[in-house]
Amino acid sequence: MKESIAAIFADSVAAKQRFLDEYSQGLESAISEIVHTLKSGGKLLLFGNGGSAADAQHIAAEFVNRYLRERRPLPAIALTTDTSTLTAIANDYGVEDLFAKQIRALGQKGDVAIAISTSGNSANVLRALAVCRELGIHTIGLTGGTGGKMVGLVDHLLCVSATSVTPRIQETHILIEHVICEMVDEVLFGAESSKS
């Protein structure tokens, strides 16, 4: 068991390190996009399925409430939380439209959508990205493995390419998302933080 545990840790660390080696510049660009959007009065729209839905809600909460410092709330909406809306769309149109219809209702040109799909192939995520492109909403895609169909559909691709194992991708995604939160706060509000 000890060897198996060590191997899981090693795989997780390796996935994170390879992401940093391959996508550090892309991550900086995505952060700059978010900063520009927030400075311009835009908002963040976050979405994904399953564990990625949980990530979307988690990160939206970090922006709306606070991350490591006291600062004004920042506008972010997880499109995964309103059960009445989600079930109405799924019932009337199908799960493929879960996020696309909400983006049409809530999104505006100049917003940023953060799409999370470990495979890059979730049909409802891809449909939402198409709507974002149509409406002029900037897109950041978090994925893994080969990137799937998400490749080429987002303005900023952040792909955990070292693995196709969902838990290892998700572990790297949450680190990426926390880095985004911390760097956005640093750029908008200064380098000092009240870490607790």
Domain residue ranges of the chain, discontinuous segments joined by +: 2-189
According to the 3-state scheme, what is the secondary structure of 76-122? Answer: EEECCCCHHHHHHHHHHCCHHHHHHHHHHHHCCCCCEEEEECCCCCC
Three-state SS for 135?
A: helix
Looking at residues 152-181, what average pLDDT do you find? 98
Mean pLDDT (the chain) is 96
pLDDT tens across 31-89, in order? 999 999 999 999 999 999 999 999 999 999 999 999 999 999 999 999 999 999 999 99
Looking at residues 151-180, what average pLDDT do you find? 98
Distance (Å, whole) CA 116 – CA 135: 19
Residue range 2-189, CATH number: 3.40.50.10490
pLDDT tens across 98-132, in order? 999 999 999 999 999 999 999 999 999 999 999 99
- Single-letter residue type at 31: I
Q: For 114, list phi and psi in degrees, rounded to 5.
A: -110, 110
pLDDT at residue 196 is higher than 70: no
